[in-house]
């Protein structure tokens, strides 16, 4: 998770870019912060997906094979 300070800075730069514009260094900072935010979001989302197990009405595991493979890869080839 990104710190509150970094999120506040992202929001501040976004507002300023819409109103007065940003300097070149602020644009670079904004790009770097956005990149970090997206990487953090993706990592968090993947972790959430790895905790999902899909079951049908009869209780059968119908988790998509791609997700099973991803979980197995994350766990070093071991399944739970």
Q: Which domain holds residue 30?
A: 1-52
Assigned domain for 79 exists: no
The string of pLDDT tens digits covering residues 5-21 is 999 999 999 999 999 99
Assigned domain for 37 exists: yes
pTM of whole model > 0.85?
Answer: no
Assigned domain for 3 exists: yes
Give the per-residue pLDDT at 79: 55
Give the per-residue pLDDT at 78: 61
The string of pLDDT tens digits covering residues 52-80 is 999 999 999 999 999 989 888 877 766 55
CATH number at residue 43: 1.10.287.540
Assigned domain for 36 exists: yes
Domain count for the chain: 1
3-state secondary structure 14-77: HHHHHHCCCCHHHHHHHHHHHHHHHHHHHHHHHHHHHCCCCECCCCCECCCHHHHHHHHHHCCC
Assigned domain for 33 exists: yes
């Amino acid at each position: 998770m990104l710190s509150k300070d970094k999120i506040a800075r992202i929001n501040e730069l976004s507002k300023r870019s819409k109103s007065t514009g940003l300097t070149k260094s602020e644009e670079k900072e904004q790009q770097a912060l956005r990149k970090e935010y997206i990487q953090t979001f993706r990592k968090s989302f993947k972790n959430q997906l790895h905790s999902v197990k899909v079951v049908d009405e009869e209780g059968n595991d119908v988790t998509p094979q791609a997700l099973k493979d991803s979980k197995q890869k994350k766990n070093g080839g071991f399944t739970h």
